[in-house]
Structure 1
Amino acid sequence: MRKGKFLTYMALGVVGGFLAGGFLPELSLKTAFIGELFLNALKMVVLPLIIVSIASAILNMKTIEKFKSVGVRALLYYTMTTSIAVAIGIITVILIKPGVGFSLNGDSSFNREMSFSLKELLTNLLPPNLFKALVDFNVLGIIVATMLFSLAVLSIKWEEKPLLHKLISELDASILKLTGWIINFAPLGIFSLIAAKVASIGGAKAIVPLLISLGKYVLTVLLALGIHAFLILPAIYYFFIRKNPYAYIGKVKEALITAFATASSSATLPVTLKEVVGSGVKKTVAEFTLPLGATINMDGTALYEAVAVIFIAESYGINLELTHYLIIFLTATLAAIGAAGIPEAGLVTMVLVLQSVGIPVEGIGIILAVDWFLDRCRTAVNVLGDTIGAAVISHGLEEVKNGRVSP
């Protein structure tokens, strides 16, 4: 579907969903199964997408030596900035509380008693049975197992590229195609989900309170993204490179504009490469770190998911404890690694974060009303993180080469 038409259909789905839920509540509830089918499709593809995306990103490093020299630095940088982004998102949403004062309890049927322990969280990182982990949606364990298995394959000195690498690449392309098909049905799914949700919480009288709550939610996300993009990432750039970060951002602005326009890190990649190399980053480093970053470095997406999940929990009246915030922090950080660089892919991985703390996945139906806009904002932040990461890693390797720091 062409991007212009897709945006138009998304807008129509949002507006139509509010109108149908407000003025045709009975019909909206009867057609709610369409939205459920859309959510089921997202759930169906989420684990294969995570597993294959992570495996593909690691295997594309080609050798364990390259992983040790450049890959480790890249992964450390990506993990650091993504963790900071998620922390900013969690702190911001806790302070503003955009979901407090609006209730989604009209049709909720979930267990409010959520018991988690730190011991359980840590032991789940290494599941004894991978098939059971898949069935139980043990996201953290699946991600860790995928990383370990991929590194094991990468460490073996094959005489030629292993068949498994080719298989993973083909699966990656196929799953991305399938995900794209599912996202093409997002306007219809959004229409049904919003209509059913509005109908279930009171129809027309709930529209204004809902819009006010969504407005607070959008401002919360934008504030958190702004802090990360204009304060944290520039500070990291200056700390490592000791140059004006905003001058560098000005040099790569075309990539950021393209990211906002396309809502896709992958589609922006050619522009990002050109802009980053043109700004002085070593081409060999850029050609390695940027494609990797477009796959696994999703600062904006991880931040957004943390805010969205806590907002949905607040709207359902769920009181989260410290352990739940820790689970959200870890799951959002790691799930972002497997978020495909395509429009609306964050919706897929958000299912993982919601299920990790037992929050109803149906709550996604409300935030879909504004996701088309926030998707562009978070993608621009994702790409900004990639460009600064390439500069920092390139500078670090140059320092090592010149003997100014120990490798």
Structure 2
Amino acid sequence: MFERLKQISLGNWILIGMILGLFFGLFLNFYVHDHFIKNIVLMDNVFYLGGNAFIRLMKMLVVPLVFCSIVVGVSSISDIRKIGTIGGRTILIYILTTAVAVTIALSIGILLKPGLGLNMAAAAQTSNVTINQTMTDTILNIIPENPLNALANGDMLPVIIFGVIIGFILAKLREETDVVNKFFEQSNKIMMAMTGIVMKFAPIGVFCLMAKTFGSLGFDGILPLAKYVVCVLIGLGIQAFVVYPSLLVVFTRLNPVTFFRKFMSVMFFAFSSSTSNATIPLNMNKLEDMGVSRDVSSFTIPLGATINMDGTAIMQGVAVMFAAQAYGIDLGTSALLTVIFTAVMASIGTAGVPSVGLVTLTMVFNSVGLPVQAIGVIFGIDHVLDMFRTAVNVTGDAICTMIVAFKNKSFDVDVFKGRKKAEKKVENLI
């Protein structure tokens, strides 16, 4: 029996914790009327401790994880100088598609209002960041006066800018700063390992958060959560089947149906694995089968797995509107622009591993003063959504790679259309 339990994946354990927490919370809400047992022992102590301890562990990861990821990601782009316009076009397309993704998500959240009816306004006072600040203040606040102070206080926008600057300098001085480069690379690996350890506590944390939430909200809280899921799926669908195909047609005049027919196996693999990184070899191999030069894909696909997280950006955009509506917080125009900028930058600092987008979601929440406790409500169903958004992420990597390869004349259209077979440099990658 224990051997079977060990074979259950972490994602499934999180899903189990979510379901058990939801039903246990509803059971407490409707069938347990003893105030001492229900509220004092369970709600205010056991569940509060378990849920908030997990939230604190996630918040503990945010600053060092994002900082190290961004430094390593930017410093590794030194090859841009060798491949010229390929790097510039790739980064520009990745950033633009992510900005479009989070804009779509915010628009869906504004229109469909997934958090409406989920009254969590009592916790809104935990916010300590000015929400309706001017755009001038927003721009000035991203420039760190004291980088160490920004790191200590978790002011993520200055931390991101500081990380980008350091990464850029390390890229230019790579041979002279080899020790520092290795330090950040190894630090990034440490933070990835630490994230894996923290995520092992996720099922317990999710159970406590869901039980506490639905122990007080009951069935009234289920509808907004279902609306949140629908909003995220709509956003992912628009990005995958409207935005990406449109870009492919506009820039290459190729048939999107042909692309999806050939690429579907990679999307299914990404869906089942929930990790962009694991899909890198299969993605490059499939693109080579479709006529894309490996000289291009070997750069753009790994880079995309690091900085192109459109699916994650959509989740974060919808989550921001969900939380703002649930807490009764009216986000101004400058706050929405801040969310777009922060979500784009967070996607750059998000590793291509399962559910790590939820860790950087706390950064997006903090950027506009939203209580991070709202993450606990959506955490339980994130594994399922993570599967969908990973499929969207790798699809975006492939589409952007095809566009860049086409513009740089490194794309054999005849191979894509099936008129001839690709001349592969690497056989049997997967």
| TM-score, length of structure 1 as denominator length | 0.91
Contact 1:265/1:379 (8 A) holds in 2? yes
1:167 is matched with: 183
Q: Secondary structure at the match of 2:242?
A: helix
- For 2:189 and 2:332, the matched residues in 1 are separated by 39
Pick the aligned partner of 2:117 from 93, 101, 111: 101
Once the two structures are TM-superposed, the CA of residue 102 in structure 1 deviates from its matched residue by 2.2
Contact 2:71/2:163 (8 A) holds in 1? yes
1:231 is matched with: 242
1:183 is matched with: 199
Residue identity in the other structure for 2:178: P
Contact 2:276/2:393 (8 A) holds in 1? yes
- For 1:377 and 1:144, the matched residues in 2 are separated by 30
Contact 2:132/2:335 (8 A) holds in 1? no
The gaps in structure 1 that reach 5 residues or longer are 401-407
1:15 aligns with 2:26: no
1:354 aligns with 2:365: yes
Pick the aligned partner of 1:44 from 60, 68, 71: 60
Residue identity in the other structure for 1:29: D
Change (3 A) 1:78 1:271: same
Pick the aligned partner of 1:152 from 166, 169, 173: 169
Q: Secondary structure at the match of 2:354?
A: coil
- For 2:172 and 2:379, the matched residues in 1 are separated by 42
Contact 1:20/1:28 (8 A) holds in 2? no
Pick the aligned partner of 1:284 from 289, 295, 303: 295
Greater C-alpha radius of gyration? 2
- For 1:364 and 1:301, the matched residues in 2 are separated by 14
Change (3 A) 1:82 1:172: same
Contact 2:138/2:334 (8 A) holds in 1? no
Once the two structures are TM-superposed, the CA of residue 108 in structure 1 deviates from its matched residue by 4.8
Change (3 A) 1:157 1:134: closer
Change (3 A) 1:23 1:105: farther
Contact 2:114/2:321 (8 A) holds in 1? no
Once the two structures are TM-superposed, the CA of residue 59 in structure 1 deviates from its matched residue by 2.3
1:271 is matched with: 282
1:332 is matched with: 343
Tell me whether 150-159 or 249-258 shows the greater mean CA deviation. 150-159
Contact 2:296/2:410 (8 A) holds in 1? no
- For 1:38 and 1:280, the matched residues in 2 are separated by 46
Change (3 A) 1:262 1:4: farther
- For 1:339 and 1:125, the matched residues in 2 are separated by 19
- For 1:115 and 1:3, the matched residues in 2 are separated by 48
- For 1:233 and 1:362, the matched residues in 2 are separated by 33
- For 1:3 and 1:261, the matched residues in 2 are separated by 16
Q: How does 1:75-224 map to 2 (within 5 A)?
A: 75-111=91-127, 114-156=131-173, 158=175, 162-199=178-215, 202=216, 206-224=217-235
Residue identity in the other structure for 2:387: R
Pick the aligned partner of 2:44 from 6, 21, 29: 29
Tell me whether 128-137 or 102-111 shows the greater mean CA deviation. 102-111
Per-residue deviation, residues 341-390 of structure 1 (Å, max 9, x unmatched): 11111110100011111111011111113211111111111111111111
Per-residue deviation, residues 260-282 of structure 1 (Å, max 9, x unmatched): 10111112212112111211111
| TM-score, length of structure 2 as denominator length | 0.87
Once the two structures are TM-superposed, the CA of residue 107 in structure 1 deviates from its matched residue by 4.9
Once the two structures are TM-superposed, the CA of residue 218 in structure 1 deviates from its matched residue by 0.9
| Matched length | 394
Q: Secondary structure at the match of 1:100?
A: coil
Q: Secondary structure at the match of 1:60?
A: helix
2:10 is matched with: 6
Q: Secondary structure at the match of 2:409?
A: helix
Once the two structures are TM-superposed, the CA of residue 109 in structure 1 deviates from its matched residue by 3.6
Change (3 A) 1:193 1:172: same
